[in-house]
Every structure is written in C-alpha cells, then in structure tokens.
C-alpha cells in the first residue's frame, strides 16, 4: 500500500478511536484502500474458476510488536473443517527414480516401488502463500499453507491403497518478508515408509521444486507377515508438517501442516455395519471432526486491513482448525474428535469437557485412540468417577485430574456422547492446565465472559463450544455403544538389544550447553545409532534436566509405533519407577519426559532402510539442536560400517575438545 494511503488509514483509525467498532473500522479500511483489501478475494474467487493463482501481497512489516492480540467475540464463528484433498493424476507421473529433469528434488529411489505401484491414488499439495481469517472480527492474516490454506487439506486414505503425495514448494523464493523459510521437507507423522519419503530434516528442497512422497498405507511388518503387513499395526490419525532443520517452528507457525487419516476395515470412515467395523462415529466432517490445536498471537489491524501473525512460539489466542474459540453445532448423538496439538512449543493442553452446569463431573470424553492407535479398551476421562484416568501426570502425581493432556504432536481420538444433553444446551472444551488461563483472551485483555457462560467457567480457559441441536430425521442415526474391545495389540516386542537416549539442556560444568541428545547436536550426516533392519530394541529415554528447570521434552520417534514399558521419575528425591498412566499404555509415537523423568520403550524396525529421527517435538527445542538421526541398515556388515561413522564422529568431537584442529 502506498505510504499516503497508509497514512490516511492511520488518520481514520485515530479519528475513530473509541467511537467506532473494530468491524466498522475494517469496513472504512476497505473503502479507503479498496484495491489492496479486496484484491485477495478477487484472486480467491478467480482461482475457484481455474484462473491462474496470484500470491497475496506479503505482510507490510514483520509483525513483532503485539503485546496482546486484538479482542474477539467468542463462539461467533463455526468450527472450520479442513477440506479433503482431491485425488488426481499427476503430470509428469510419479516414478521410482527422482525425476530431476522435470523439477523433482534429488532423493534415493523409492523403496518397495514395485510392491506399491502403480499407486492407487496420487495428489498434490503445494506449499504457497495464502490469506486466512482466524476470526470474523479480524482481517486476514498472511500464511503459508498447503494449497494456500490453513490447516492444510485433509488427506483421507485407506490401508491397502498406497498414495503418492507430490509436495510442491511454491513459497516465495525470497521468503516474502515473513518469518517462514522457503525451503521445506514434509514429514508424515508417523508413517511407516522409506526414508526418502519421511521428510528427513536435512533433506529440504527449495522453492520451485517438488518431491514425491510414497506413502504405502501398509501395516508395519511387511517382511514378517507378507501381504500388506500385520493388520494389528493399524494406525488412524496422522498429520503432516514441515520438518526443515532449524526452521520447523517458523514454517509451522506460518501454517505448513495438516491432518492425514488412514481408514481400514475396523475403522472404515463410515458408520454402516460393514465386516469388522467397530462402528465408531465415522463420517468425516459430519460426525468425525479433527480438532487441530495451536496457539498464535496477532498484531493490530494494519494499513493493509490485515491482522498478521506474530512470529512467536507462544500465543494468546487458542486456535482450533484455524479458528479462535469457534462454535460447533452437534446433534444429540455420539461424535468422534481427533484431537491433535501442533504446539508449536511448550503448549500442553489439559482438556476437559464442561457441561451446561459448569462442571465436568459426568462430561465424559472416551478416549479410543492415542497417537493414531486404538487402545485395547476405551478409556473414559472426566472429573468424576474417571478423574484418575488423566494422563496429566508429573512423577507419580496427577496434576490435572479428569483431563486429557495433549502434548505437542500427540493425537487423542475421543468420543463424546451428546445424546444425554438437552437440545439447545452448550458444552465447552477447555484447557485447565495450571496457569494456562492466563495465556489467552481472558478478562486481562479486555475480553469478558460472554453472557450464558456457566458459572465458574472463565472464558480464558475455553477452546471451543459445542451447541447441541436436535438430530433431524435425515441426519445419520446414532452409532451403537462404543465396543469394549477396540483392537488386538501386536505381539509383545522382544528386544534384541538396548540403547539409551539422554535428552538434556545444561548438565553443570559441560560445554557446550545446548539442547542435545546424547551430548550431540543435530547432524544431518552423522547417525548416533545404527539398527539392523528387522530387529527390535529397547530404548531408555532419559530427560537428564534437573527437576525445576522446566525443560520438558515430548520425545517423538519416527517410523514405527512403540510401547512404553516403564516410566521413571524422581519422587521424594529418589529416582524410581512410577506407574504408566492408562492413556500411555497403548501404542505411541510421542512420549513426554518431564525434567528428571525417563521412559523405557520397545520398538521394532522393519521393512525399510535409511535415515530416521528421534527428537523433541517442542519445535523450539528441535530447531535448537534437540534432534539426532539414527539409521536402519540392511545387514550386519552395513551396521559395522555405520557404527564406524559414529566412532569417527566421536573421535572428531574428542579431538575438538582437546583443542586439535580437525
């Protein structure tokens, strides 16, 4: 926007301050600078008719100044539901060998190409700039999203139908005056696939290039079980996100993530009584909703009529599927919600459902899956009889009884039965972790409890609202009771060997004092552990940071799901074994270790070779080094060579500490 217009805009704001609502200011802004304010909408509608896409104008400045985000009116917006990605043929068609001539970024050949191709499904997700309005009281915000939207399109897949997703990087090559970095590598969390499709943090590619990720949608255990693997290894709720080394936080705050669901006969994506179906609420966007949580901060309305996102790890607005405190109209029947925390950093959501009377004593959320994996038996969580099922645990103490704690990158699939509530009543999903209500748009920021909020509930704790409607005759009938058994666990893992991972920040007296794993920073070229394909291991994941340092680490391991065998913590000054909360007893791919805590996990490494990662999923921590690579190698000979890499790197490390020039 020309300076003159910006100035006149400021004048308008000044003049109208205190006498006019924000919404009408926005309208005046649109009139004053119609060209720039309206252009994005025209572009959007043009795109719908197949016109060439033009990037929206970049932010005027990198917005960093906001102390508090602007106020908003709660519950006026509907919960957005990410639009499913549409399958379509790719041109040029995908191939086993990277098609570098046509712009594909170099990679190793797709593993198991012959087995999983011709792929049944292909689609393309293009990372590019877009505008997204997080609240109807706000102007647009400039984002980077897959296909220009946030959250990214929902990918709905099916076991047995492999998919190739072509990730195209159309972010502006100069970063477009944002805090994003225009190099990306996309990880499907937590897919079982080749390293070349895993979005390894060092394998990022620049703007103008693309890369095909082959997601076989197979169960782990292909070699062992044949066919499409061990169906007990089924997973459901995945998510995909940028994993660029050093810039994962920035690019995820910009908006580069989305959800990815894979159906199978037990969980088929519909509610009909088909063979093997658990008949959980299952129509996507009708009775089965993602709840993608994050927190953001926004700058004041600018001269471009926009509320830009602040480049900040934390936030003072809680976002669900890209909306601030939205409302979801539900019918009086059972619903499934796939809750995902995209962080980005320290956010942990201690979720409770609050009923119309302001309590959550019988407002039960029944957890059916943790990190994409069905629990053997459903686990009800509420503030009454089921308060002890909470996984908001530090040491041996439940810190938020009756809550489901969602750490960064974790997923919890819950069933809520709205049939017991009167039509017209409201329920609230909130975060009741200690200190969390201070964070958001509570009374301190000018927002007050809206009328009708149940007594005792602070708007600052509320993430979203459910509005119970009467189920129309055309609406799908309620599903049967939740089955008491949801799955059969895979055979117990018998480890071939053990290994220890130490996560720490600052052991006294050490140099350098960084976020490290096993004393090492992230090195794209050097593994810290080598594993022979087809073996199993027991890992001790230890957070060596002292109690009280607040350096908690939600540790994520790529590739296969693990089982938590033991938890350890310092209780009364003694490092001792503590119970594993019932919600951590299923299959997992993230385990949070609080300072001084540890987890013993068991995991298999089957079917593929290559580089994979273990890292803290606090995106600030992983960008600040807390990530290391481990390799799956084809055989014992390759392991010996791989191990020699570690020895060589250790020698270099030691030599550097001796002051030698290496």
Partner 1 sequence: MDRRSMLSRVFKPHPYSPGVAKFTNAVLRTQDNKEVRFYDDLIKGKQCVINMMYAECHGACPLVTTVLKRTYRDLKDRMGKDLFFYSISVKPQDDTPAALKHYAKMRNADLPGWYFLTGDAYDIETIRFRLFNMGHPGIDLDFAMHSGTFRIINDATNYWGHAGAFASQKNIMDRIAWADPYKSPAEWDVYARNLKAAIDKDVKKYGYRRDV
Query: Which residue ranges make up the site for partner 1 (CB under 8 A)?
Result: 59, 61-62, 64, 98, 100, 105-109, 173-175, 177, 179, 181-182, 195-196, 202, 206, 208-209, 245-246, 505-506, 511-514, 516, 520-526, 549-550, 609-611, 624-625, 631-634, 638, 641-642, 645, 649, 652-653, 656-657, 659-662
CA pair distance 200, 204, nearest whole angstrom: 8
CA pair distance 416, 365, nearest whole angstrom: 5
Instruction: Name the minimum Å distance from CB 610 to partner 1.
Output: 5
Instruction: Name the minimum Å distance from CB 139 to partner 1.
Output: 19
Provide φ and ψ at 574, rounded to 5°: -120, 130
92 CB burial (10 A radius; 0-12, 13-18, 19+) = exposed
Nearer to partner 1, 211 or 563 (CB): 211
Instruction: Name the minimum Å distance from CB 661 to partner 1.
Output: 5
N-term to C-term CA, the chain: 53
CA pair distance 586, 542, nearest whole angstrom: 20
Structure tokens at 492: 């117990």
Nearer to partner 1, 162 or 610 (CB): 610
Residue that is written with structure tokens 């549409």 in the block: 86
Structure tokens at 563: 């089982």
CA torsion through residues 638, 641, 647, 649, sign: negative
- Helix (H/G/I), strand (E/B), else coil: 329: strand
Nearer to partner 1, 515 or 562 (CB): 515
596: left (phi over 0), alpha (psi -120 to 50) or beta: left
The helix-helix angle for 3-16 and 22-32 (nearest 10°) equals 150
CA distances from 620 to 50, 256, 345, 623, 659 (A): 39, 16, 6, 5, 30
Nearer to partner 1, 357 or 544 (CB): 544
CA pair distance 471, 443, nearest whole angstrom: 35
Instruction: Name the minimum Å distance from CB 436 to partner 1.
Output: 18
Nearer to partner 1, 59 or 596 (CB): 59
Nearer to partner 1, 108 or 489 (CB): 108
CA pair distance 114, 622, nearest whole angstrom: 35
Instruction: Name the minimum Å distance from CB 543 to partner 1.
Output: 16
Instruction: Name the minimum Å distance from CB 308 to partner 1.
Output: 11
Nearer to partner 1, 11 or 656 (CB): 656
Closest CA to 488 of 277, 234, 238: 234
Instruction: Name the minimum Å distance from CB 177 to partner 1.
Output: 5
Nearer to partner 1, 105 or 167 (CB): 105
- Helix (H/G/I), strand (E/B), else coil: 622: helix
Structure tokens at 460: 């600052």
Nearer to partner 1, 481 or 651 (CB): 651
Nearer to partner 1, 202 or 265 (CB): 202
Instruction: Name the minimum Å distance from CB 173 to partner 1.
Output: 6
Instruction: Name the minimum Å distance from CB 660 to partner 1.
Output: 7
What is the distance, to the nearest Å, from the Cα of residue 541 to the centroid of all Cα atoms in its chain?
22
Residues 6+ apart with CB under 8 A from 177: 58, 59, 61, 62
CA pair distance 286, 479, nearest whole angstrom: 13
Instruction: Name the minimum Å distance from CB 523 to partner 1.
Output: 4
Instruction: Name the minimum Å distance from CB 463 to partner 1.
Output: 25
- Helix (H/G/I), strand (E/B), else coil: 9: helix
Residues 6+ apart with CB under 8 A from 196: 107, 108, 109, 110, 111, 214, 610
Nearer to partner 1, 310 or 379 (CB): 310
Strand-pairing partners, residue 539, are 499, 601
Nearer to partner 1, 397 or 510 (CB): 510
323 CB burial (10 A radius; 0-12, 13-18, 19+) = buried
Instruction: Name the minimum Å distance from CB 42 to partner 1.
Output: 26
Nearer to partner 1, 196 or 382 (CB): 196
Instruction: Name the minimum Å distance from CB 612 to partner 1.
Output: 11
Closest CA to 81 of 150, 28, 145: 150
CB distance 504 to 541 below 8 Å: no
Nearer to partner 1, 498 or 510 (CB): 510
Q: For residue 602, give the H/E element and its range.
A: strand 598-605
Instruction: Name the minimum Å distance from CB 62 to partner 1.
Output: 4
CA pair distance 120, 258, nearest whole angstrom: 21
Instruction: Name the minimum Å distance from CB 507 to partner 1.
Output: 12
What is the distance, to the nearest Å, from the Cα of residue 101 to the centroid of all Cα atoms in its chain?
33
Number of H helices, E strands in the chain: 8, 36
Nearer to partner 1, 588 or 621 (CB): 621
CA distances from 91 to 197, 322, 527 (A): 19, 31, 36
Nearer to partner 1, 64 or 419 (CB): 64
CB distance 382 to 360 below 8 Å: yes
Count CB-CB contacts under 10 A for residue 89: 10
Structure tokens at 314: 């934390």
Instruction: Name the minimum Å distance from CB 404 to partner 1.
Output: 27
């Amino acid at each position: 926007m020309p300076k003159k217009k910006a100035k006149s805009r400021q004048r308008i704001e000044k003049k109208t301050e205190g006498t006019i609502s924000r919404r009408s200011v926005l309208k005046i802004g649109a009139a004053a600078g119609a060209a720039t304010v309206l252009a994005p909408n025209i572009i959007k509608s043009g795109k719908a008719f197949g016109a060439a896409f033009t990037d929206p104008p970049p932010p005027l400045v990198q917005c960093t100044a906001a102390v508090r985000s602007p106020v908003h009116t709660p519950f006026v917006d509907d919960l957005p539901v990410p639009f499913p990605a549409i399958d379509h043929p790719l041109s040029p068609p995908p191939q086993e060998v990277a098609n570098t001539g046509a712009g594909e970024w170099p990679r190793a050949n797709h593993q198991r190409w012959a087995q999983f191709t011709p792929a049944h499904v292909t689609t393309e997700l293009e990372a590019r700039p877009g505008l997204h309005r997080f609240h109807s009281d706000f102007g647009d915000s400039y984002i980077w999203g897959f296909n220009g939207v946030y959250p990214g399109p929902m990918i709905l897949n099916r076991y047995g139908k492999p998919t190739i997703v072509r990730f195209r990087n159309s972010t502006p090559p100069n970063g477009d005056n944002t805090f994003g970095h225009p190099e990306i590598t996309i990880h499907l969390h937590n897919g079982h696939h080749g390293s070349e499709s895993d979005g390894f943090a060092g394998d990022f590619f620049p703007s103008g290039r693309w890369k095909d990720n082959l997601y076989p949608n197979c169960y782990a255990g292909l070699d062992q079980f044949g066919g499409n693997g061990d169906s007990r290894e089924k997973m459901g709720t995945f998510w995909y996100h940028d994993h660029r080394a050093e810039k994962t936080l920035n690019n995820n705050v910009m908006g580069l993530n989305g959800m990815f669901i894979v159906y199978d006969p037990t969980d088929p994506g519909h509610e009909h009584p088909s063979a093997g179906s658990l008949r959980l609420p299952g129509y996507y966007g009708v009775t089965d909703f993602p709840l993608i949580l994050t927190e953001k901060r926004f700058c004041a309305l600018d001269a471009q009529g926009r509320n830009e996102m602040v480049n900040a790890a934390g936030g003072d607005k809680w976002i669900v599927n890209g909306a601030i405190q939205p409302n979801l109209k539900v019918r009086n029947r059972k619903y499934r919600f796939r809750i995902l925390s995209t962080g980005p950093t320290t956010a942990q959501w201690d979720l409770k459902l609050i009923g119309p009377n302001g309590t959550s004593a019988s407002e039960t959320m029944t957890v059916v899956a943790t990190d994409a994996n069905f629990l053997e038996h459903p686990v009800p969580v509420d503030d009454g009889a089921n308060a002890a099922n909470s996984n908001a645990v530090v040491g041996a103490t439940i810190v938020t009884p009756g809550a489901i704690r969602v750490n960064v990158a974790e997923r919890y699939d819950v069933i809520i039965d709205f049939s017991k509530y009167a039509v017209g009543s409201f329920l609230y999903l909130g975060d009741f972790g200690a200190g969390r209500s201070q964070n958001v748009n509570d009374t301190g920021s000018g927002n007050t409890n809206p009328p009708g909020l149940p007594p005792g509930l602070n708007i600052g704790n509320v993430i979203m609202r459910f509005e119970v409607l009467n189920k129309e005759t055309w609406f799908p009938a309620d599903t049967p009771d939740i089955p008491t058994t949801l799955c059969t666990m895979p055979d117990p893992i018998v480890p071939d060997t053990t290994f220890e991972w130490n996560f720490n920040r600052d052991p006294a007296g050490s140099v350098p004092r960084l976020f490290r794993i096993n004393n090492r920073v992230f090195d794209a070229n050097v593994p810290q552990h080598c594993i022979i394909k087809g073996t199993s291991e027991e890992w001790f994941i230890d957070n060596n940071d002292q109690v009280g340092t607040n350096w908690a680490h939600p540790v994520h391991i790529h590739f296969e799901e693990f089982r938590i065998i033991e938890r350890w913590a310092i209780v009364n000054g003694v490092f001792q074994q503590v119970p594993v909360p019932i919600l951590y007893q299923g299959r997992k791919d993230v385990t949070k270790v609080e300072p001084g805590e540890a987890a013993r996990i068991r995991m298999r490494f089957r079917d593929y070779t290559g580089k994979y990662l273990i890292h803290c999923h606090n995106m600030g921590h992983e960008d600040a080094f807390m990530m290391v690579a481990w390799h799956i190698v084809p055989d014992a000979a390759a392991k010996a060579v791989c191990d020699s890499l570690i020895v060589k790197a250790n020698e270099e490390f030691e030599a550097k500490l001796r002051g030698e020039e290496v």
